């Protein structure tokens, strides 16, 4: 089998890459029609790629018989939580043949490594098993899941006995701040072992003091025996920096946060909070609902699929040198 020629990505490659991305997204939408149809337009897809290139993205293209048949484009995020990183975002790759992504990575990655970027992340359409497998055979593992579902038509839901779901109030700020710390604390434990930043309780309280009246968010709490034991946040997906480009459905609501105190787990508070946020997305007129979770988080990785969220993109990760 003749392998394609692999060379560095240049600005002249943007139109051809846009056509490939538009084709990839059309195939993705056949599997998940709630995704944004705009990215089936090659010009829209090309604009997303050009934006990544202008932001410092570097990568490679595959050329066969004079035609671009694949591309890979990554860029670094300035967030310390990700390490010295290179990200292939949702618009950062498209290939006519899944195996070619391995050749593209072999040319693109050394440039990132020369810049001491040794934590590599890639968003892959969840339906494309061959492409996921090609990345697995590059040493990547599944870290995170983006999920999507329809907004509920019937917004009634069953709250387990002994629980109450209500809007958060200023008086709840101390326990809301405690719950803000609980999520990263849980993620740091087995089997997730996340190294996410942990705010101080004082920082969390200050943040809630400033944001609790923001009308762009829906803040909910779960009460049990007169005590707040859980919380969840809903908002428009545009407020999330983690869902961009083809991974951002148009006019979607976002289940952006949910946490339950350890001693209250098993009561059904997490599920009830999720259902309450879904009811809010319907009431607000959103056309889909989105959330995301760590694949290794045993709680969220089981609760959100049970609420009907289907994987749309998988975040894969590789830390070089190990």
Residues with Cβ within 8 Å of 31's Cβ and at least 6 positions away in sequence, in order, are 125, 127
Q: Is the pLDDT reported for residue 322 higher than 80?
A: no
Q: Give the pLDDT confidence score for residue 266 in this predicted structure.
A: 96
Mean pLDDT of 102-125: 98
Structural domains in the chain?
Answer: 5-139 (3.40.630.30), 163-310 (3.40.630.30)
| pLDDT cut 90: percent of the chain above it | 94
Grade residue 1 by pLDDT with cuts at 50, 70 and 90: low
Name the pTM for this structure: 0.96
Mean pLDDT of 71-88: 92
Closest CA relative to residue 275, chosen from 212, 230, 227, 226: 230
Mean pLDDT of 124-150: 98
Residues with Cβ within 8 Å of 209's Cβ and at least 6 positions away in sequence, in order, are 173
Q: Give the pLDDT confidence score for residue 198 in this predicted structure.
A: 86
What does the pLDDT look like over 158-185, one tens digit per residue? 999 999 999 999 999 999 999 999 999 9
Residue-by-residue DSSP string for 248-307: S-TTEEEEEEEEE-GGGTTSSHHHHHHHHHHHHHHHTT-SEEEEEEETT-TTHHHHHHHT
Q: Is the pLDDT reported for residue 195 higher than 90?
A: no
Mean pLDDT of 74-98: 94
Q: Give the pLDDT confidence score for residue 3 in this predicted structure.
A: 86
Count of CA atoms in the C-beta half-sphere (13 A) of 155: 11
Q: Which of 46-50, 82-86, 111-115, 282-286 has the lowest mean pLDDT?
A: 82-86
What is the average pLDDT value for the chain, to the nearest integer?
A: 96
Q: Enter the DSSP assignment of 320.
A: T
């Amino acid at each position: 089998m003749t392998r394609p020629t692999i060379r560095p990505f240049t600005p002249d490659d943007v139109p051809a890459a846009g056509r490939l991305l538009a084709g990839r997204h059309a195939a993705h939408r056949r599997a998940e029609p709630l995704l944004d149809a705009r990215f089936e337009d090659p010009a829209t897809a090309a604009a997303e790629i050009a934006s990544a290139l202008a932001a410092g993205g570097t990568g490679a293209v595959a050329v066969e018989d004079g035609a671009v048949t694949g591309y890979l484009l990554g860029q670094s995020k300035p967030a310390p939580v990700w390490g010295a990183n290179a990200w292939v975002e949702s618009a950062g790759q498209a290939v006519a043949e899944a195996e070619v992504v391995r050749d593209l990575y072999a040319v693109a990655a050394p440039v990132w490594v020369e810049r001491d970027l040794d934590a590599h992340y890639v968003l892959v359409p969840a339906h494309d098993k061959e492409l996921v497998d090609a990345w697995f055979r590059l040493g990547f593992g599944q870290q995170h899941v983006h999920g999507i579902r329809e907004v509920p038509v019937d917004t009634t839901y069953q709250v387990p006995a002994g629980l109450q779901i209500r809007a958060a109030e200023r008086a709840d700020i101390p326990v809301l701040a405690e719950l803000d710390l609980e999520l990263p604390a849980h993620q740091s434990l087995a089997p997730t072992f996340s190294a996410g930043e942990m705010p101080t309780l004082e920082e969390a309280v200050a943040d809630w003091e400033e944001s609790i009246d923001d009308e762009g968010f829906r803040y909910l709490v779960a009460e049990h025996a007169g005590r707040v034991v859980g919380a969840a946040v809903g908002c428009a997906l545009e407020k999330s920096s983690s869902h961009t480009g083809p991974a951002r459905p148009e006019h979607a609501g976002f289940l952006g946060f949910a946490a339950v105190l350890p001693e209250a787990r098993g009561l059904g508070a997490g599920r009830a909070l999720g259902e309450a946020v879904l009811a809010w997305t319907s009431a607000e007129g959103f056309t889909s609902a989105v959330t995301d979770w760590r694949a290794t988080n045993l709680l969220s990785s089981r609760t959100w699929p049970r609420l009907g969220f289907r994987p749309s993109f998988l975040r894969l990760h590789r830390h070089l040198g190990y």
